[in-house]
Structure 1
Amino acid sequence: MNCMSIDLSNLRQKFREREYKLTPQRQIILQVFVDNRDKHLSAEDVHNIVRQQSNDIGLATVYRTLELLSDLDILQKMDFGDGRSRYEINETSTPHHHHHLICLACGKVIEFEGDLLEDLETVISRNSNFTIVDHQVKFYGYCQECRDKSED
């Protein structure tokens, strides 16, 4: 998989194009996603990481920034059905790049690589005369650790 080189210089460019300022707070929050590329972070997760770096950024600022980054398509906002939005860097060069496996016991989210739905997408498009531009798939179940715990 192309691990797209998202760095702060491409992101600064996106901000300039949309006439937003990349403030120091926004930069710090963005850096959290660059550093935790494989994680799906909630506002609370981001706030905790930022606080450990002793940055004085309030939770409200984190929420507002995540909404803005989502509106700018820099972050992808996801809802895994637990009432908390989570975010990840939007790697736009690779649409359909992964699906999500969500553990109903511990809430862990695992990415599943590979796109098994291209054929289905083609059939749906053809049969319903509908142009599909993207899809998200979520599988709900139990991760290995939670299954192991329940067998004890």
Structure 2
Amino acid sequence: MSALKQRITDDMKAAMKSGDKARLGVIRLILAAVKQVEVDERIELDDERLLSLLDKMVKQRRDSISQYESAGRTELAEQEKFEIGIIQDYLPQQLTEEEIAALIDEALAATGAASMKDMGKLMGWLKPKLQGRADMGAVSASIKQKLAG
């Protein structure tokens, strides 16, 4: 079992013992998503793949928040924000805007990217370094801005 998956399982047990139902519910959602992938693909997730899954869960919740807020459903948006907070506990420390900009500049230099045609090459170089540590949608927008400017 990966170290991250073990930590999540241990946190689930701690939440059960302490009676923290809200946290327990989110941790169970995480473990259910992990189990789904493991069963579907007949594999055991390593930490890298688990981080990718957690990152995807955060992205889904961010999308839901914007939809709930535009529909005036603030209580549902608040629940999604709470879930993001719990999920992000298992993701690495988020990078600052400056750190992301430095990595983008490094990627531009390393790949020789000069136009929008090189976007895939740039994202391929950046994704392993940023996975779970930055909003890839925002990173993509920053890259487009640099390539256009």
TM-score range, shorter chain: 0.3 to 0.5
TM-score under structure 2 normalisation? 0.34
TM-score under structure 1 normalisation? 0.33
Greater fraction helix: 2
Relative contact order (alpha carbons < 8 A, sep ≥ 6): 1 or 2 greater? 2
